[in-house]
Chains A and B, each alone.
Chain A
Amino acid sequence: QTVVTQESSFSVSPGGTVTLTCGFNSGSVSTSSHPSWYQQTPGQPPRTLVYDTYIRASGVPDRFSGSVIGSKAALTITGAQADDESDYYCLLYLGRGTYAFGPGTKVTVL
Protein backbone atom coordinates (compact mmCIF):
# COMPACT_ATOMS: atom_id res chain seq x y z
CA GLN A 1 0.00 0.00 0.00
CA THR A 2 1.28 3.45 -0.91
CA VAL A 3 1.82 5.65 2.14
CA VAL A 4 2.63 9.35 2.04
CA THR A 5 5.16 10.55 4.60
CA GLN A 6 5.69 13.94 6.26
CA GLU A 7 7.62 15.15 9.27
CA SER A 8 5.42 15.17 12.36
CA SER A 9 6.52 18.60 13.57
CA PHE A 10 8.87 21.49 12.95
CA SER A 11 9.80 24.56 14.93
CA VAL A 12 10.99 27.77 13.28
CA SER A 13 11.98 31.16 14.63
CA PRO A 14 10.14 34.28 13.48
CA GLY A 15 11.82 35.44 10.27
CA GLY A 16 13.43 32.06 9.80
CA THR A 17 13.16 29.52 7.00
CA VAL A 18 11.75 26.02 7.21
CA THR A 19 11.40 23.32 4.55
CA LEU A 20 8.75 20.65 4.94
CA THR A 21 8.98 17.50 2.87
CA CYS A 22 6.52 14.97 1.48
CA GLY A 23 7.48 11.54 0.20
CA PHE A 24 6.39 7.99 -0.43
CA ASN A 25 7.16 5.09 1.89
CA SER A 26 8.44 3.35 -1.23
CA GLY A 27 9.56 5.19 -4.34
CA SER A 28 10.16 8.80 -5.30
CA VAL A 29 7.91 11.82 -5.64
CA SER A 30 8.25 13.60 -8.97
CA THR A 31 6.35 16.33 -10.77
CA SER A 32 4.14 13.53 -12.15
CA SER A 33 2.83 13.13 -8.60
CA HIS A 34 1.49 16.70 -8.94
CA PRO A 35 2.27 17.54 -5.30
CA SER A 36 0.14 20.18 -3.60
CA TRP A 37 0.25 21.76 -0.14
CA TYR A 38 -2.42 22.92 2.30
CA GLN A 39 -2.44 24.96 5.50
CA GLN A 40 -5.05 24.31 8.16
CA THR A 41 -5.83 25.90 11.49
CA PRO A 42 -8.25 24.30 13.99
CA GLY A 43 -11.90 24.49 13.06
CA GLN A 44 -11.23 25.79 9.55
CA PRO A 45 -11.24 24.13 6.14
CA PRO A 46 -7.83 23.69 4.54
CA ARG A 47 -6.34 26.56 2.58
CA THR A 48 -4.62 25.68 -0.66
CA LEU A 49 -1.08 27.09 -0.77
CA VAL A 50 0.74 25.46 -3.69
CA TYR A 51 -0.33 23.04 -6.39
CA ASP A 52 1.23 21.14 -9.28
CA THR A 53 4.58 21.23 -7.50
CA TYR A 54 5.27 24.97 -7.47
CA ILE A 55 2.21 27.03 -8.54
CA ARG A 56 1.09 29.34 -5.74
CA ALA A 57 -2.67 29.58 -5.24
CA SER A 58 -4.35 32.94 -5.60
CA GLY A 59 -3.55 35.29 -2.75
CA VAL A 60 -0.80 33.15 -1.25
CA PRO A 61 2.26 35.22 -0.27
CA ASP A 62 5.51 34.49 -2.07
CA ARG A 63 7.20 33.42 1.15
CA PHE A 64 5.57 30.03 0.44
CA SER A 65 7.26 28.09 -2.36
CA GLY A 66 7.03 24.53 -3.63
CA SER A 67 9.63 22.31 -5.24
CA VAL A 68 10.91 18.77 -5.59
CA ILE A 69 14.14 18.11 -3.69
CA GLY A 70 15.69 14.75 -4.36
CA SER A 71 12.96 12.14 -4.04
CA LYS A 72 10.49 14.31 -2.13
CA ALA A 73 8.19 17.26 -2.65
CA ALA A 74 9.02 20.26 -0.52
CA LEU A 75 7.29 23.36 0.83
CA THR A 76 9.60 26.13 1.95
CA ILE A 77 8.43 28.97 4.19
CA THR A 78 10.86 31.89 4.00
CA GLY A 79 10.61 34.63 6.61
CA ALA A 80 8.20 32.75 8.88
CA GLN A 81 5.53 34.79 10.62
CA ALA A 82 3.51 34.06 13.72
CA ASP A 83 0.37 33.33 11.74
CA ASP A 84 2.21 30.62 9.79
CA GLU A 85 1.81 28.46 12.89
CA SER A 86 -0.52 25.76 11.53
CA ASP A 87 -0.79 22.20 10.33
CA TYR A 88 0.51 21.61 6.81
CA TYR A 89 -0.60 18.74 4.60
CA CYS A 90 0.67 17.53 1.25
CA LEU A 91 -1.45 15.74 -1.34
CA LEU A 92 0.01 13.44 -4.00
CA TYR A 93 -1.57 12.03 -7.15
CA LEU A 94 -1.24 8.23 -7.19
CA GLY A 95 -2.60 7.66 -10.68
CA ARG A 96 -5.91 6.21 -11.94
CA GLY A 97 -7.73 9.21 -10.50
CA THR A 98 -6.70 8.58 -6.91
CA TYR A 99 -4.86 10.75 -4.40
CA ALA A 100 -3.47 10.50 -0.88
CA PHE A 101 -2.74 13.06 1.82
CA GLY A 102 0.28 12.93 4.06
CA PRO A 103 -0.27 12.76 7.83
CA GLY A 104 0.50 16.45 8.25
CA THR A 105 3.30 18.53 9.81
CA LYS A 106 2.64 20.76 12.79
CA VAL A 107 4.68 23.95 12.45
CA THR A 108 5.39 26.04 15.52
CA VAL A 109 6.76 29.57 15.24
CA LEU A 110 8.70 30.58 18.35
Chain B
Amino acid sequence: QVQLVQSGAEVRKPGASVTVSCKASGYSLTSNFMHWVRQAPGQGLEWVGQMNPRGDTRTYAQKFTMTRDTSTNTDYMEVRSLTSADTAVYFCARDTGNYAPDYWGQGTLVTVSS
Protein backbone atom coordinates (compact mmCIF):
# COMPACT_ATOMS: atom_id res chain seq x y z
CA GLN B 1 0.00 0.00 0.00
CA VAL B 2 1.08 3.58 -0.60
CA GLN B 3 2.74 5.26 2.36
CA LEU B 4 4.58 8.54 2.80
CA VAL B 5 6.72 8.76 5.93
CA GLN B 6 8.21 12.13 6.81
CA SER B 7 11.15 13.06 9.00
CA GLY B 8 10.74 14.21 12.59
CA ALA B 9 10.16 17.61 14.13
CA GLU B 10 12.85 20.27 13.78
CA VAL B 11 13.74 23.46 15.62
CA ARG B 12 15.81 26.15 13.92
CA LYS B 13 16.90 29.70 14.58
CA PRO B 14 15.84 32.57 12.32
CA GLY B 15 17.97 32.81 9.18
CA ALA B 16 18.84 29.11 9.18
CA SER B 17 17.54 26.48 6.78
CA VAL B 18 15.83 23.12 7.29
CA THR B 19 15.29 20.05 5.13
CA VAL B 20 12.24 17.83 5.46
CA SER B 21 12.26 14.34 3.95
CA CYS B 22 9.38 12.29 2.60
CA LYS B 23 10.06 8.59 2.01
CA ALA B 24 7.60 6.82 -0.26
CA SER B 25 6.73 3.14 -0.23
CA GLY B 26 4.25 1.11 -2.24
CA TYR B 27 4.92 3.08 -5.42
CA SER B 28 7.74 4.84 -7.28
CA LEU B 29 8.17 8.60 -6.91
CA THR B 30 8.86 8.71 -10.65
CA SER B 31 5.22 7.76 -11.34
CA ASN B 32 3.38 10.76 -9.85
CA PHE B 33 3.69 14.45 -9.09
CA MET B 34 4.47 15.24 -5.45
CA HIS B 35 2.89 18.22 -3.70
CA TRP B 36 4.21 20.04 -0.65
CA VAL B 37 1.75 21.80 1.64
CA ARG B 38 2.24 23.64 4.92
CA GLN B 39 0.00 24.72 7.78
CA ALA B 40 0.96 27.33 10.34
CA PRO B 41 -0.37 26.78 13.87
CA GLY B 42 -4.12 27.39 13.97
CA GLN B 43 -4.16 28.42 10.31
CA GLY B 44 -5.31 26.95 7.02
CA LEU B 45 -3.50 24.91 4.40
CA GLU B 46 -1.01 26.63 2.10
CA TRP B 47 0.13 25.01 -1.17
CA VAL B 48 3.90 25.39 -1.38
CA GLY B 49 4.92 23.63 -4.57
CA GLN B 50 5.18 20.42 -6.54
CA MET B 51 7.72 18.23 -8.31
CA ASN B 52 6.94 16.41 -11.56
CA PRO B 53 7.40 12.64 -11.83
CA ARG B 54 10.77 12.89 -13.58
CA GLY B 55 11.99 15.18 -10.80
CA ASP B 56 13.24 17.78 -13.25
CA THR B 57 10.48 20.38 -13.08
CA ARG B 58 9.45 22.04 -9.88
CA THR B 59 6.92 24.77 -9.22
CA TYR B 60 7.37 26.68 -6.01
CA ALA B 61 8.26 29.96 -4.43
CA GLN B 62 11.96 30.88 -4.37
CA LYS B 63 12.14 30.16 -0.68
CA PHE B 64 11.83 26.40 -1.25
CA THR B 65 14.10 23.84 -2.93
CA MET B 66 12.77 20.41 -3.86
CA THR B 67 15.06 17.50 -4.62
CA ARG B 68 14.74 13.74 -5.07
CA ASP B 69 16.82 10.65 -4.37
CA THR B 70 15.47 7.91 -6.61
CA SER B 71 17.78 5.31 -5.03
CA THR B 72 15.90 5.61 -1.73
CA ASN B 73 12.56 6.72 -3.20
CA THR B 74 12.71 9.85 -1.04
CA ASP B 75 11.80 13.45 -1.78
CA TYR B 76 13.24 16.39 0.11
CA MET B 77 12.20 19.99 0.60
CA GLU B 78 14.58 22.61 1.92
CA VAL B 79 13.26 25.87 3.35
CA ARG B 80 15.83 28.67 3.44
CA SER B 81 16.19 31.93 5.35
CA LEU B 82 13.73 30.84 7.99
CA THR B 83 11.59 33.36 9.84
CA SER B 84 8.93 32.88 12.49
CA ALA B 85 6.36 32.93 9.67
CA ASP B 86 7.79 29.61 8.44
CA THR B 87 6.81 27.85 11.68
CA ALA B 88 4.35 25.26 10.41
CA VAL B 89 3.60 21.61 9.84
CA TYR B 90 4.90 20.62 6.42
CA PHE B 91 3.16 17.84 4.49
CA CYS B 92 4.17 15.93 1.39
CA ALA B 93 1.31 14.46 -0.64
CA ARG B 94 1.21 12.27 -3.75
CA ASP B 95 -0.82 13.53 -6.68
CA THR B 96 -3.69 11.38 -7.95
CA GLY B 97 -2.78 12.04 -11.56
CA ASN B 98 -5.79 14.35 -11.69
CA TYR B 99 -4.55 17.64 -10.25
CA ALA B 100 -4.96 16.76 -6.58
CA PRO B 101 -3.16 15.03 -3.71
CA ASP B 102 -4.51 11.71 -2.48
CA TYR B 103 -2.00 10.09 -0.10
CA TRP B 104 -0.52 12.36 2.55
CA GLY B 105 2.51 12.14 4.81
CA GLN B 106 1.98 12.47 8.55
CA GLY B 107 3.44 15.96 8.62
CA THR B 108 6.65 17.46 10.02
CA LEU B 109 6.56 20.33 12.51
CA VAL B 110 9.21 22.96 11.86
CA THR B 111 9.58 25.52 14.63
CA VAL B 112 11.58 28.70 14.06
CA SER B 113 12.60 30.33 17.30
CA SER B 114 15.52 32.35 18.59
Residues of A within 8 A of B (CB): 34, 36, 38, 40, 45-48, 51-52, 55, 57-58, 87, 89, 91, 93, 96-104
B44 to A, closest residue via Cβ: A104
Are B100's CB and A103's CB within 8 A? no
A32 to B, closest residue via Cβ: B99
Interface flag for B50 (CB, 8 Å): yes
Are B99's CB and A93's CB within 8 A? yes
Are B50's CB and A97's CB within 8 A? yes
Residues of B within 8 A of A (CB): 35, 37, 44-47, 50, 52, 57, 59, 91, 93, 96, 98-102, 104-107
The secondary structure that dominates the A interface is strand
Q: Which chain A residues border B47 with CB–CB below 8 Å?
A: 91, 98-101
Given contacts A48-B100, A52-B99, contact A38 B45 (CB under 8 A): yes
Residue contacts A-B, CB under 8 angstroms, 9 given: A34-B99, A45-B105, A45-B106, A46-B93, A51-B100, A52-B99, A55-B98, A97-B59, A101-B47
Q: Which chain B residues border A46 with CB–CB below 8 Å?
A: 37, 45, 91, 93, 101, 104
- Our pick among B46, B57, B104 for the contact of A45 (Cβ within 8 Å) is B104
Are A103's CB and B91's CB within 8 A? no
Are A36's CB and B45's CB within 8 A? no
**CA–CA, A48 and B4, complex, Å:** 15
**CA–CA, A91 and B102, complex, Å:** 12
**CA–CA, A87 and B105, complex, Å:** 18
Of A45, A57, A89, most buried by chain B (CB within 10 Å of CB) is A45
Given contacts A36-B99, A97-B50, contact A89 B59 (CB under 8 A): no
